[in-house]
Amino acid sequence: MENEFWPLFDLRIRTSRIEIRLPNDNALGDLARLAAKGIHDPVAMPFLYPWTDEPSPLLERGMLKWGWRHRAEWASNNWTFNGAVFVNGEVVGVQSLMATDFAALRAVKSGSWLGLAYQGQGIGKEMRTAILHFAFEALGALEAHSGGFIDNESSLRVSRALGYEECGRRTVLRRGIPTELLEVRLDKSQWNTTPHTKVEISGLDDCRDFFIAPDSTVS
């Protein structure tokens, strides 16, 4: 056990190719190095908050602070799970899952990125499938939300491939320029209609209360 008081570190979400787990400080450092090597063409900006514009070492420090902040602010029913994604024991990116008032709303939101060297090989789709399986099948979520800038083809294609449907558009400032953001939503009923890669979860029993407050009822 990584830390008896923080069993979240021992939660594992796996497919035959990837493993998702909460990064410890070493893994956060690996993620920081990976992000500094590049996540996207510097001309483009896929993120709402343009954190990849930070020069080194601020980008790397920012990555550590981001990991620590979400750990420190974790609350039952209100959480951001920033899962590090591993392939063959090497960290390749992040798959996040967030919820607010989870027991009452049973809705989740996701965000993700991969190091450039790992993109375009189906890993993005597989890690989203894994986290959706975790949300719908293990936590009892009823709907999942995501979104992407209108020109972020790979991100929007992952969503479309998994059955999400467009549920709104809004214009936000991207590097100071108004840009359209597409919002998408996937219902549990829609999720149930499509076959998915097999996903295995371990270590949830010891940290279920991190996700759902023990006095809330989720069936």
Ligand X SMILES: CC(C)(COP(=O)(O)OP(=O)(O)OC[C@H]1O[C@@H](n2cnc3c(N)ncnc32)[C@H](O)[C@@H]1OP(=O)(O)O)[C@@H](O)C(=O)NCCC(=O)NCCS
Q: Using the rule CB under 6 A, which residue among 153, 165, 180, 205 binds ligand X?
A: 153
* Sole window of 16-24, 39-47, 83-91, 203-211 interacting with ligand X (rule: CB under 6 A): 39-47
Shortest distance in whole angstroms from residue 130 CB to ligand X: 12
Q: From CA 44, how far away is CA 93, in angstroms rounded?
A: 18
Contact 11, 83 (CB under 8 A): no
197 scored as a contact of ligand X (CB under 6 A): no
- Position 208, amino acid: R
168 scored as a contact of ligand X (CB under 6 A): no
Shortest distance in whole angstroms from residue 174 CB to ligand X: 12
* Sole window of 107-115, 190-198, 199-207, 211-219 interacting with ligand X (rule: CB under 6 A): 107-115
155 scored as a contact of ligand X (CB under 6 A): yes
* Sole window of 29-37, 114-122, 186-194, 206-214 interacting with ligand X (rule: CB under 6 A): 114-122
Closest CB to ligand X among 67 and 93?
93
- Position 21, amino acid: R
Closest CB to ligand X among 183 and 209?
183
Record the tokens describing residue 100, joined without a space: 């607010």
125 scored as a contact of ligand X (CB under 6 A): yes
Binding pattern for the stretch 48-87 against ligand X, x by CB under 6 A and - elsewhere? ----------------------------------------
Q: Using the rule CB under 6 A, which residue among 65, 157, 169, 170 binds ligand X?
A: 157
Record the tokens describing residue 153, joined without a space: 């083809």
Q: From CA 208, how far away is CA 166, in angstroms rounded?
A: 31
Q: Using the rule CB under 6 A, which residue among 122, 169, 171, 180 binds ligand X?
A: 122
Specify the length of the chain in residues.
219
198 scored as a contact of ligand X (CB under 6 A): no
Query: DSSP readout, 75-124?
Result: BTTBEEEEEEEEETTEEEEEEEEEESSHHHH-EEEEEEEE-GGGTTSSHH
Q: From CA 71, how far away is CA 91, in angstroms rounded?
A: 19
90 scored as a contact of ligand X (CB under 6 A): no
Give the CA count within 13 Å in the CB-facing half-sphere of 88. 1
Residue 31: strand, helix, or coil? helix
Q: From CA 61, how far away is CA 32, in angstroms rounded?
A: 8
- What does the binding site for ligand X look like in residue numbers (CB under 6 A)? 39-40, 46-47, 112-114, 119-125, 148, 152-155, 157-158, 161
